[in-house]
Amino acid sequence: RPPRSSGLYARVSWCRQLERSRVRIQTIFDKAYDSHRDEMAALSQWRRNLKLIAEHNKRFLAGEISYTLHLNQFADWHPEEYFKKILKLFDTIPLLDPALDIHRSHYRHLANKAIPDRVDWSAKGFKPKLEEQWQCGACYAFAVAHAVQAQLYKKHGLWGELSPQQIVDCSAADGNEGCDGGSLRGAFRYAARSGLVSEQYYPYTGKKGHCKSSGLLARTKPKNWAMLPFGDEDAMEKALATIGPLAVGVNASPFTFQLYRSGVYDDPFCVPWALNHAMLLVGYTPDYWILLNWWGKKWGEDGYMRIRRGYNRCGVANMAAYVVL
């Protein structure tokens, strides 16, 4: 056995750590690779992220930053792979949008209403099941289906998971491209025109299929949808407190977003442009926003994320919208 101070011992120790990592990838995250070359590339990326996470979390323990990272189901993905597989929101918000006028009209009677310091719709009973979009760029469909579901719950006390798969399969006429991406605008337009059926009757498959909604009659159909003013966190706070959960676009590009584990996310490199992912805003405190994601329970705080308020971090306030039932 080589002495602990030797370079050989360090290499043997690192090899053992990599082997443990390989076993963890394949068992905990149920990973399989097309070839040995792909597996080695994934292990190499896992190794790079392992070092980045260790350095980052050391800074967290020293009190220098406010959030932690961990090895999750994306830790063996190269950044290009991460972008290609799941960051597929179309960033398509013009300066003038008729949906903004709808918000101004709908929101006028709420403008002077007092709101609480903190709101958490999950604590009020709105707790959708934790979804996983898999390797399908369907974030736009999940965000809009859940935004409609939230209004159904808030206005009528009714509970039912609505179908993101219906939006994936059926909204091509509104500019969406199934698992290759789509926009919140296109998904909202489709939902307002066609209505959404229960996920029980139209379950999620993680791939685009033929539209099968025509024979399903029980639908939740919004009257319209509305867009909040661009970049306005105060308007977003008021709308979240008085109207309900909001579909939002974010810039999910940084590796810290990819590997987020817990705490208040506050990466200055998460700039407020190039929005490429959709989430559901469900709460706020004076210090942070609370968002629901579609990356399963192993990502973030059991599928949720907290993002620092006051800086429009990740562009969270640039593309916020809701439905009018």
The residues that are catalytic are 139, 277, 293
* Tokens 């399989």 belong to residue: 32
Q: How far from 88 is each of 18, 51, 139, 144, 199, CA to CA, in Å? A: 31, 28, 7, 15, 22
Q: Tokens representing 178?
A: 């199934």
Q: Could you tell me if residue 166 is left (phi over 0), alpha (psi between -120 and 50 degrees) or otherwise beta?
A: alpha
Q: Tokens representing 316?
A: 């969270």
Q: What angle do CA 245, 246, 250 make, to 5 degrees?
A: 135
Give the single-character DSSP code of 10.
Answer: H
Q: What is the DSSP string of 256-277?
A: HHHTEEEEEE--TTS-SSS--E
Instruction: Report d(CA 199, CA 109) in Å as an integer.
Output: 34
Instruction: Report d(CA 253, CA 258) in Å as an integer.
Output: 7
Q: Are 146 and 122 in contact (CB under 8 A)?
A: no
- Least Cα distance to 77 among 68, 67, 86 occurs for 86
- Residue 117's identity, in one-letter code, is D
